[in-house]
Structure 1
Amino acid sequence: MTQEELDKLMDGDMDLGDDALSMDDGDAIESDADSVQHDSDNYKVSADNSWPPPPPSTENKVVHQLDDVTKESEEKASQIFDMLEAISNEAMAIEEKIDSVSSALNSNIELFEKLLTKFPNIPHFEEQIQKSKVAIENIAVISDNVSTIGMNCMSAMDVMQYQDIHRQKIERVINIMRALSNYMNKLFEGKIDDENRVSSAKHIHGDDTSNKDIADEDDIEALIAAFGKK
């Protein structure tokens, strides 16, 4: 800002337009974003936030979450296998029933053909023969569809085998993370137990003296005088 603009601003002649307001609003938004980013009480995991680190709650424990993923995925995979097996068994049962129906229709066709030979003037026999042949054709289509369902179930079971491979990969990651965790614990392990270790000093020479919890010289003299009166 130039001196001329500053003089106009002091005299009230300068127009603060949308640019100034938008700049202030932008600063306020940026300030709010910083406050949210550093608000540990309302922390939410985000790739954009580098501080503070996520609290060690259940939903933020990495190994805990991976264990849940492997357990739940294995349970769901087992349920899917059971359902696919049930569908495959039902398809096989349908194929067996289709064979019996086809056999019965073929027997009916043979019977009506014999009757038609003996009684050619009765058109009902010819109609039943044609209907039985159409039914056999439809049953053949149904049989093919059922066979396709059974094959698809078997293919789905083969594909589901990869779920076990994925579980093994996740378990490998878990084991690596656990090994790193144990290594870090060993690396920072001390000779003194935590319960036997002295507490840290609240104030060390050279610290920021603006902290209200730090006693100044007057407080120390008053404390000594109070002890002297006792």
Structure 2
Amino acid sequence: MTQEELDALMNEDIDDLDASELTDEAEEIEVEEEQVIEKKSVKTDDKPLGYSEETAHHWPLPATDENKMVHQLDNVTKESEEKASEIFDIIEGVSNELMAKEENVNNVMEVLNSNIELFTKLSEKFPDVEAFKIQLEKNESALNDTIEAVETLQNSGDAIMSVMDIMQYQDIHRQKIERVINVMRALSRYMNSLFECKIEDEKRVSSAQHIVGDTHNDIASMDEIEALLEQFGSK
């Protein structure tokens, strides 16, 4: 075998070795990725260790969106703020309409005042003409009704302003709820830091089903065990 053939053979072995090493490394990476995915799937499970349908009544309510207190309070503040904004928009629209109508009524009052002034002069100049007197009385009556309408519009505007002032308390309530949320979140972070550990739950030893002093009757008592042993001994 020549030196060239030997070199070619060595190069082929090296290439085969590199390919096998790359294949092994790829397989190891795939295995590690699968393990990471399995760990993530275990961690994303919200059920506590030892929880099952049979033992569900021993556990508090599950941590769903319906039972998460902070989540519910956030929804309350969000929904109340949205509804309050809608109410403010409606009240503002009504207030603007009242102001516009009040301006229109004031224009009508100017016309009625001018009519009253005109029919007053005509009645004085032509006292025998009953039509002037009748129109004068009608305009005076219409003016009184218009004045009452203006007063009603003004009172309604004042009432709407009072409602808007009262609605400001909704923002105060929102701030109080947010304060409660912040306190709860601070307590949650403190409790998490207080109970955190470096050992994963999957690596811990399972808890004993019965400890001396437990009141449940899931296992046999000492008397029952002794009676059972006596039965076996008698046989």
TM-score by length of 2: 0.62
**CA 149–205 in structure 1, closer or farther in 2 if over 3 Å, else same:** closer
**CA 136–205 in structure 1, closer or farther in 2 if over 3 Å, else same:** closer
Deviation at 1:55, TM superposition (A): 2.6
Amino acid of the residue matched to residue 155 of structure 2?
A: T
Task: Report the equivalent of 1:135.
Answer: 142
- Does 2:175 correspond to 1:168? yes
**CA 87–40 in structure 1, closer or farther in 2 if over 3 Å, else same:** farther
- Does 2:80 correspond to 1:73? yes
Distance of 1:134 and 1:203 partners within structure 2: 93
Q: Secondary structure at the match of 1:147?
A: helix
> Equivalent of 2:163, from 156, 170, 187?
156
Amino acid of the residue matched to residue 95 of structure 2?
A: S
Deviation at 1:117, TM superposition (A): 3.0
TM-score by length of 1: 0.63
Deviation at 1:54, TM superposition (A): 2.5
Counting matched residue pairs gives 164
Distance of 2:211 and 2:205 partners within structure 1: 17
- Does 2:189 correspond to 1:188? no
Task: Report the equivalent of 1:32.
Answer: none
Give the unaligned 5+ runs of structure 1: 1-38, 44-50, 211-230
**CA 203–123 in structure 1, closer or farther in 2 if over 3 Å, else same:** closer
Q: 82-91 or 124-133, which moves further after superposition? A: 82-91
Higher Rg:
2
Q: RMSD in angstroms over aligned alpha carbons?
A: 2.8
Q: Secondary structure at the match of 2:66?
A: helix
Distance of 2:219 and 2:132 partners within structure 1: 113
For residues 97-108 of structure 1, the aligned pairs below 5 Å read: 97-108=104-115
Deviation at 1:178, TM superposition (A): 0.8
Give the unaligned 5+ runs of structure 2: 1-53, 221-235
Amino acid of the residue matched to residue 191 of structure 2?
A: M
**CA 40–158 in structure 1, closer or farther in 2 if over 3 Å, else same:** farther
- Does 2:206 correspond to 1:200? yes
